[in-house]
């Protein structure tokens, strides 16, 4: 087995490419979720604390504080085992969205060290320090500053600096950790004795230097810095690490000198790529997150205001500058928020949704005025703030003279824009999601022939509504059973909704079969024969006879004509 893999032949060496002068800092927050909650409490809990999440249907510990770790708990441990070990364990459910938002705030803080900062979800940051460390007195001083800032924030951090992103990631998480012994049925003694003796005598140069604040790998010495780390430091999949352990390979140094072709063929090209990225043989850039577009204007008053006219005049002063900012970025507002900061410290907020993106003040102003009476000025308003929460790109219009200006004016007054403005006004009163429209759907099933969409976030159907070959009722409801003889012929007398009705005229049938590729529980009664039935009182019903399939059929009433 070992001979076929090539462990006994060490002649093929991996070629080394010259290392670049890049320096990467990895900041790992091993207790990010738990310490975020502790920061919210603004107090140190005297008892162990853990954040609990769901994994494969089981409650496990996803983050623990220092006290919980000192009590013997570990991440990934089932909650029932943790409470048995520590009966007084305090827990809180995981909040991935809040944790992601907190990591984004930490990314903004880390921008003080370098403009190239990226997030490594869910609990780490990666920073390209190239050309920045000397501004803080060197890499050791920079790590000391980062550790002090994290201590002030109440966060535990493990930091490492290396030439590559993969090496910094590995040193931050596994520096000082020994490779765990792996025992299985494979006989490790089968390994060639000469191979073991050479591995024992092999010297490691360029090992990472551990300082009080973290780990710093010497430039150009990634092989030596990573040599003693366990294989998971290469970001390999667990199944690959397991396979390598079965071969007696537990540290990075054990795989560095393996033949590349054999390694890639046995464990996959992705595993080889991870090793190349850690050693600097393949580039792995740091892509910083772009600053989000922010559109907001504010107006502060020397004295509190409370009249609606004053608020309107303040709105007229902050709305045009906001539209100018949107126009400069070719963006249109879809959702806005007006905040009124009162003198007693409270904030009144109005959320306004638009049916189409726009940067025109005359289209936004009426919608805000419709809800301006919802603002309670209290003892007075000190500040007004208007912010565009959601924006969409707008395409520029090119005007070529008076004729083009007339066409543009006609387009602004077109029915589509007028309808969008109407939807915006209705949404300001009723709520944007409460205004809906029907859109045709590609299905012959009656209840699936149309779908309901939010009018503000959908476009009207460009073509005429598709016509059915048979009339359809205006009202549809859940099929209701009808007491009638079990006969496909329309009954002369039947009982429906506690009423005895007599059939005057019946037109049909129209055969509709269920969609065979869907298992719809409502259609387990089999194919349906629909009839338009007019009863003695003049009421016209849409009834069908189900022929039965998985469950017995019979007569049902599905809708009514007007």
> How far is the C-alpha of 319 from the C-alpha of 296, rounded, in Å?
9
Q: What mean pLDDT comes out for the span 479-486?
A: 90
Mean pLDDT, the chain, whole residue set? 82
> Mind giving me the DSSP string for 123-168?
TEEEEE-TTTGGGGTSHHHHHHHHHHHHHHTT---EEEEESSHHHH
The arrangement of strands across the sheet holding 124-128 comes to 117-120, 124-128, 24-28, 158-162, 214-216, 209-211
In terms of pLDDT, which residue wins out, 499 or 179?
Answer: 499
List beta partners, residue 560. 475, 541
Residue found under tokens 């070529």: 400
Retrieve residue 380's tokens.
């007075």
Q: What mean pLDDT comes out for the span 522-537?
A: 87
> How far is the C-alpha of 395 from the C-alpha of 518, rounded, in Å?
42
pLDDT at 198 exceeding the cut of 80: no
pLDDT per residue as tens digits for the range 241-256: 999 999 889 899 989 8
pLDDT at 6 exceeding the cut of 80: no
> How far is the C-alpha of 19 from the C-alpha of 16, rounded, in Å?
9
Whether 446 and 467 have beta carbons less than 8 Å apart is answered as no
Name the pTM for this structure. Answer: 0.56
pLDDT at 313 exceeding the cut of 90: yes
The pLDDT of residue 2 is: 36
Whether 89 and 68 have beta carbons less than 8 Å apart is answered as yes
Crossing angle (nearest 10°) for helices 238-246 and 260-267? 120
Of 56-65, 314-323, 517-526, the poorest mean pLDDT is in 517-526
The pLDDT of residue 285 is: 86
3-state secondary structure of 464: coil
The pLDDT of residue 149 is: 93
In terms of pLDDT, which residue wins out, 423 or 299?
Answer: 299
Residue found under tokens 């507002």: 333
């Amino acid at each position: 087995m070992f001979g076929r893999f090539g462990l006994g032949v060490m002649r093929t060496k991996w070629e080394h490419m010259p290392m670049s002068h890049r320096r990467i800092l990895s900041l790992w927050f091993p207790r990010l979720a738990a310490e975020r909650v502790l920061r919210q409490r603004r107090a140190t809990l005297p008892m162990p604390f853990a954040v609990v999440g769901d994994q494969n249907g089981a409650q496990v510990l996803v983050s623990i504080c220092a006290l919980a770790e000192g009590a013997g708990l570990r991440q990934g441990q089932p909650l029932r085992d943790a409470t048995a070990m520590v009966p007084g364990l305090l827990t809180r459910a995981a909040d991935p969205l809040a944790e992601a938002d907190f990591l984004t705030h930490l990314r903004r803080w880390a921008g003080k060290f370098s403009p190239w900062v990226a997030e490594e979800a869910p609990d780490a940051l990666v920073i390209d320090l190239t050309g920045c460390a000397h501004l803080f007195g060197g890499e050791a001083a920079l790590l000391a500053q980062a550790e002090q800032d994290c201590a002030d924030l109440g966060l535990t951090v493990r930091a490492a600096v290396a030439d590559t992103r993969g090496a910094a990631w590995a040193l931050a998480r596994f520096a000082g950790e020994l490779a765990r012994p792996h025992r299985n049925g494979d006989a490790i003694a089968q390994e060639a004795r000469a191979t073991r003796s050479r591995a024992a005598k092999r010297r490691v140069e360029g090992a990472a230097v551990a300082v009080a604040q973290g780990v710093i790998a010497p430039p150009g010495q990634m092989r030596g810095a990573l040599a003693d780390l366990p294989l998971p430091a290469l970001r390999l999949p667990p199944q690959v690490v397991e396979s390598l352990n079965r071969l007696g390979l537990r540290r990075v140094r054990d795989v560095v000198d393996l033949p590349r072709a054999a390694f890639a063929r046995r464990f996959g090209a992705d595993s080889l790529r991870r090793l190349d990225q850690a050693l600097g043989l393949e580039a792995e850039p740091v892509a910083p997150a772009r600053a989000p577009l922010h559109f907001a204007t504010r107006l502060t008053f020397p004295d509190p205001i409370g009249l609606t006219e004053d608020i309107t005049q303040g709105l007229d002063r902050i709305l045009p500058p906001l539209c100018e900012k949107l126009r400069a970025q070719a963006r249109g507002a879809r959702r806005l928020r007006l905040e009124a900061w009162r003198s007693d410290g409270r904030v009144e907020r109005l959320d306004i949704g638009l049916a189409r993106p726009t940067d025109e003040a005359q289209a936004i102003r009426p919608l805000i005025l419709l809800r301006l009476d919802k603002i309670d000025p209290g003892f007075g308003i000190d500040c007004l703030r208007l912010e565009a929460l959601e924006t969409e790109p707008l395409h520029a219009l090119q005007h070529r003279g008076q004729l083009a200006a007339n066409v543009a004016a006609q387009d602004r007054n077109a029915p589509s824009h007028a309808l969008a403005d109407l939807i915006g006004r209705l949404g300001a009163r009723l709520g944007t999601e409460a205004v809906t429209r029907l859109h045709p759907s590609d299905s012959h099933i009656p209840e699936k022939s149309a779908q309901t969409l939010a009018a503000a976030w959908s476009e009207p159907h460009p073509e005429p509504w598709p016509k059915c070959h048979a009339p359809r009722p205006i009202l549809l409801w859940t099929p209701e059973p009808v007491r009638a003889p079990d006969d496909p012929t329309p009954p002369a007398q039947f009982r429906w909704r506690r009423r005895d009705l007599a059939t005057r005229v019946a037109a049909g049938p129209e055969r509709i079969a269920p969609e065979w590729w869907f298992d719809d529980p409502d259609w387990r009664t089999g194919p349906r024969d629909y009839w338009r039935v007019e009863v003695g009182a003049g009421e016209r019903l849409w009834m069908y006879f189900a022929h039965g399939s998985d469950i017995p059929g019979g007569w049902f009433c599905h809708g009514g004509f007007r």
